[in-house]
């Protein structure tokens, strides 16, 4: 038996593929401008609704003296959570250059035996809440922008919901075409948006500079002290909306890198949103007339009202597009980590594998967004549901980064307590405040998060149970297979590939149960036989050897038996056919270079409940069966089946 580790990463794809690195090329300035449209769309459009929610739905506007204190809370919430926590600290928690909850999942996974399993579940729940974020952000953002018609064209106030539904329908209908063509203009448009909102705010501040007292953090602390009790929780529940979309800074780390994101934040987004919030506060503090709940549009000069509605709508559509694309990426990461069914994935850009379209996720998001807009009818009504999503994701992120700081960064416990303990306490306060909104819409993100969490845990359980049941079927050892192969008087001349559910590295390892079925049925073995096992690592990219080959028998006359382990990271496209064809061209394995001359043997497991299985377990098995029907077969997902001939066998297995 011979072993060979393939180290030719240049042709085997070790490390980032050229296309995968394509989206991070360009000057620092160009990347920073592009980040304005992709990373900061949600938080950049939060001034449309966040301060209105705080001022008109928590009792803050009862006296003008409350306004500087309330604005102080806004300023320092953005500063502490976004500028300090995310821009400076969280961007350090990269997994091979990638960020997001699944990057944290990959960093923590090697330590799951140290008690981190609960934290992995927390991150899975956080991922579920992010799917909810993908529904709520487009709904509340576009709705808040269109509500500007109540100021600019009051006669169209009754058409706000229908117009929002139509706009959302158009956005989702265009997803299958990809965003490569129009994505280049997202950043410049958002740059115009940030300049405009900064100017609007600065004009109000210049007229009423007293609002600058809000920069003193003591004003916010005293304001909360005087509010007391129940009102504090109402204020915190609304205040969380000013940092909606901050998670995108970390989630999109792999698309742009830390430097462009920080540059865009500190030079453009941070000053623009602060100026606009302070401007809205100055307007309100000095008795400005607010039409309905649209505080943002109340500071817009009447002549600019209608164009501003158009610009705001365009900005929120861009923010929605960024969130939708982010959900597609999140779904792909979950699939490649083995946490989600293998949904159909379409690539919408020939050079950039990061541009993907997931039809099922798109349909689910579209239906959810439209339903939310119709049910809630206004951005203030949606605010309660949205706040819980933002607070929940931030709390789950804190739970994930603490073990990273300890185990990966080797921070001392005292520093972890000071830094992350403080942020953890703040996140806990916000989460507790938003949990009080469950009856007013907070149940929506909880339901979505719980559903996604249930799908991920059921898929994990079902895959493990299926693997255990399949492995329990009778199978021959590799030693027996090699002996039968060497004694065979004749062979099937077609080169055969079998997918292996576990590593085959030693002569005492068992061959897949399907191999025994093929032998018993035909009494013949292929002359050249290759077992392929696909390993999904909890890292973004594979930098070491892509493939490890184990040769069990090699003879020019009698043929070859070998196994190959093919490794992929969760940001890589797992195309096994391409990898095997490359190996064949370089004579690493005994296969023709043309996949049409291969035959791939696969099995379809017919899942049956074990005798005596409980009712709850049977329900879980039924849910897993439904997810399997939604999922692509493994061989199609791994790129096999387009040119390769497939031979499928149905194998009954009893799941315990």
d(CA 497, CA 500): 9
Q: In this predicted model, which residue has the larger pLDDT, 190 or 3? A: 190
Cβ–Cβ < 8 Å for 292, 150: yes
For the chain, counts of helices (H) and of strands (E): 28, 11
Kindly give, in sequence order, each residue whose CB lies less than 8 Å from that of residue 65, ignoring residues fewer than 6 positions away.
none
Residue 244 is classified by DSSP as: T
Nearest to 52 by CA among 390, 379, 307: 379
Which pLDDT belongs to residue 62?
Answer: 55
Asked if residue 405 has pLDDT above 70, the reply is yes
CA dihedral over 184, 189, 192, 194, signed as positive or negative = negative
What's the rounded Cα separation, in Å, for the pair 599 and 580? 13
Residue 127: count other Cβ atoms within 10 Å of its Cβ: 26
Strand residues in 283-412 grouped as ranges (E)? 346-347, 356-357
Range 84-89, long-range pairs (CB < 8 A, 24+ positions): 85/423, 86/246, 86/247, 86/249, 86/250, 87/249, 87/261, 87/262, 87/265, 87/266, 88/262, 89/419
Asked if 551 contacts 518 with a C-beta cutoff of 8 angstroms, the reply is no
Residue 507 has pLDDT above 80, yes or no: yes
Low-confidence winner among 155-169, 308-322, 597-611 (lowest mean pLDDT): 597-611
Tell me how far apart the 2 most distant CA atoms of the chain are, in Å.
Answer: 97
Res. 17: pLDDT tops 70? no
As a whole number of angstroms, the distance between CA 261 and CA 248 comes to 10
Give percent of the chain with pLDDT exceeding 70.
91
HEC string of 265-291 equals HHHHHHHHHHHHHHHHHHHHHCCCCCC
Judge contact between 424 and 409, C-beta under 8 A: no
Phi, psi dihedral angles at 409 (to 5 degrees): -85, -15
- Out of 175-189, 213-227, 247-261, pick the least confident: 175-189
CATH 1.20.1740.10 domain span(s) along the chain? 39-461
Phi and psi torsions of 247, nearest 5°: -60, -25
Tell me the average pLDDT across 313-317. Answer: 91
Q: Among 650, 653, 538, which Cα is nearest to 603's?
A: 650
Give the residues across from 528 on adjacent strands: 560
Structure tokens at 97: 């250059």
Alpha helices (H) along 147-228: 149-152, 160-173, 180-207, 217-227
- Full-model pTM: 0.82
Residue 198 has pLDDT above 90, yes or no: yes
Measure the CA–CA gap between 34 and 185, rounded to whole angstroms: 8
Q: Binning pLDDT at 50, 70 and 90, where does residue 349 land?
A: low
pLDDT beyond 90 at 224:
no
pLDDT for residue 18: 37
Strands (E), 591-644: 598-609
Residue 83: φ, ψ to 5°: -70, -45
Cα 402 to chain center, whole Å? 20
H or E element that contains 233: helix 229-239
CA-derived radius of gyration, the chain:
28
- Going by pLDDT thresholds of 50, 70 and 90, the confidence category of residue 14 is very low
Contacts of 25 (CB under 8 A, 6+ apart): none
Above 80 in pLDDT, residue 25? no
- Asked if 513 contacts 651 with a C-beta cutoff of 8 angstroms, the reply is yes
Answer yes or no: is pLDDT of 245 > 60: yes
Q: Which pair of tokens denotes residue 464?
A: 């493990």
Residues 6+ apart with CB under 8 A from 394: 81, 243, 246, 247, 427, 430, 431
Distance CA 132, CA 447 (A): 9
Return the pLDDT at 456.
Answer: 92
Q: Which band of pLDDT confidence, cut at 50, 70 and 90, is reported for residue 269?
A: very high
Phi and psi at 542, nearest 5°, equal -95, 120
What SS3 class is residue 548?
strand
d(CA 192, CA 186): 10
Q: What is the pLDDT of residues 433-488, one digit of tens each?
A: 998 888 888 899 999 999 999 999 999 988 888 888 877 788 889 999 999 988 88
469: left (phi over 0), alpha (psi -120 to 50) or beta: alpha
**Segment of 56-70, 100-114, 131-145, 320-334 carrying the highest mean pLDDT:** 131-145
| Cβ atoms of 495 and 597 closer than 8 Å | yes
| Distance (Å, whole) CA 118 – CA 400 | 10
- What is the mean pLDDT of the segment spanning 32-60? 86
Report whether pLDDT(63) > 70.
no
Structure confidence at residue 179 (pLDDT): 59
Q: DSSP secondary-structure letter at 81?
A: I
CA–CA gap between residue 448 and residue 372 (Å, rounded)? 12
**Distance between CA atoms of residues 603 and 513, nearest Å:** 9
Of 343 and 586, the structure prediction assigns the larger pLDDT to: 343
Q: What is the mean pLDDT of the chain?
A: 85
Indicate whether 177 pLDDT > 80: no
pLDDT, tens only, 513-572:
888 888 888 888 888 899 999 988 878 888 888 898 999 988 888 888 999 999 998 888
Let me know: does 627 contact 459? Beta carbons within 8 Å: yes
Q: What is the pLDDT of residue 499?
A: 86
Q: Which fold has domain 39-461?
A: Amino acid/polyamine transporter I (1.20.1740)
Span between the terminal Cα atoms of the chain, in Å: 35
Q: Which residue has the tokens 């990898």?
A: 579
Q: What is the DSSP string of 442-475?
A: THHHHHHHHHHHHHHHHHHHHHHHHHHHHHTS--
Integer CA distances (angstroms), 408 to 103, 111, 113, 249, 564, in order? 13, 10, 15, 21, 31
Write out the two tokens for 235: 């204020």
3-state SS of 386-405?
HHHHHHHHHHHHHHHHHHHH
């Amino acid at each position: 038996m011979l072993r060979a580790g393939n180290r030719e990463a240049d042709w085997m794809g070790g490390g980032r593929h050229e296309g995968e690195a394509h989206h991070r090329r360009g000057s620092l300035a160009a990347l920073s401008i592009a980040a304005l449209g992709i990373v900061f769309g949600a938080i950049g459009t939060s001034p449309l609704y966040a301060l209105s929610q705080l001022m008109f739905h928590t009792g803050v506007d009862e006296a003008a003296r409350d306004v500087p204190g309330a604005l102080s809370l806004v300023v320092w919430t953005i500063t502490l959570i976004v500028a300090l926590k995310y821009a400076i600290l969280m961007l350090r928690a990269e997994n091979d250059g990638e960020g997001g909850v699944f990057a944290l999942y990959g960093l923590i996974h090697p330590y799951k035996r140290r008690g981190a399993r609960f934290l992995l579940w927390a991150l899975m729940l956080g991922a579920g809440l992010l799917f909810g974020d993908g529904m709520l952000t487009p709904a509340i953002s576009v709705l808040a922008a269109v509500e500007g018609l109540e100021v600019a064209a009051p006669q169209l106030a009754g058409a706000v919901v229908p117009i929002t539904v139509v706009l959302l329908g158009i956005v989702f209908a265009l997803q299958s075409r990809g965003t490569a063509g129009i994505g280049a203009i997202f950043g410049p448009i958002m740059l115009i948006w940030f300049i405009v909102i900064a100017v609007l705010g600065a004009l109000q501040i210049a007229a009423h500079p007293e609002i600058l007292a809000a920069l003193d953090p003591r004003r916010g602390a005293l304001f909360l002290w005087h509010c007391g009790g129940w009102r504090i929780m109402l204020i915190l529940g609304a205040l969380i909306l000013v940092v909606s979309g901050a998670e995108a800074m970390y989630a999109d780390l792999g698309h742009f890198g830390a430097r462009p994101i920080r540059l865009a934040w500190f030079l453009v987004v941070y000053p623009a949103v602060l100026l606009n919030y302070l401007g809205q506060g100055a307007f309100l503090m000095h008795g400005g007339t607010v039409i309905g709940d649209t505080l943002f549009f109340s500071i817009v000069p009447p002549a600019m009202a209608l164009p501003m509605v158009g610009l705001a709508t365009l900005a929120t559509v861009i923010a929605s597009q960024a969130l939708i694309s982010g959900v597609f990426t999140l779904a792909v990461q979950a699939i490649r980590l083995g946490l989600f069914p293998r949904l159909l994935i379409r690539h919408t850009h020939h050079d950039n594998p990061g541009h993907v379209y997931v039809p099922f996720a798109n349909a689910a998001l579209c239906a959810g967004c439209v339903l939310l807009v119709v049910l809630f009818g206004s951005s203030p009504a949606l605010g309660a549901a949205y706040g819980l999503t933002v607070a929940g994701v931030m709390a789950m992120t804190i739970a994930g980064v603490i073990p990273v700081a300890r185990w990966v960064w080797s921070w001392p416990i005292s520093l972890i307590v000071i830094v992350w303990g403080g942020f953890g306490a703040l996140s806990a306060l916000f989460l507790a405040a938003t949990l009080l909104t469950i009856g007013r819409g907070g149940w929506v993100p909880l339901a979505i998060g719980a559903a996604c969490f249930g799908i991920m845990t059921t898929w994990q359980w079902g895959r493990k149970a299926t693997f255990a049941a399949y492995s329990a079927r009778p199978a021959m050892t590799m030693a027996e297979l090699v002996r039968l192969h060497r004694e065979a008087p004749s062979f099937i001349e077609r080169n055969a590939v079998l997918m292996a559910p576990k590593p085959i590295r030693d002569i005492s390892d068992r061959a897949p149960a399907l191999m025994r079925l093929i032998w018993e049925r035909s009494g013949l073995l292929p002359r050249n036989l290759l077992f392929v096992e696909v390993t999904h690592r909890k890292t973004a990219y594979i930098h070491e050897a892509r493939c490890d080959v184990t040769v069990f028998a090699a003879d020019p006359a009698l043929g070859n038996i070998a196994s190959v382990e093919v490794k992929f990271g969760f940001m890589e496209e797992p195309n096994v056919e391409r990898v095997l064809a490359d190996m064949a061209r370089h004579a690493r394995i005994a296969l023709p270079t043309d996949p049409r001359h291969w035959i791939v043997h696969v099995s379809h497991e017919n899942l049956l409940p074990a005798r005596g299985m409980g009712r709850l377990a049977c329900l879980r098995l039924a849910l897993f069966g439904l997810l399997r029907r939604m999922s692509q077969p493994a061989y199609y997902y791994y790129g096999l089946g387009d040119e390769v001939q497939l031979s499928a066998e149905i194998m009954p297995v009893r799941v315990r």
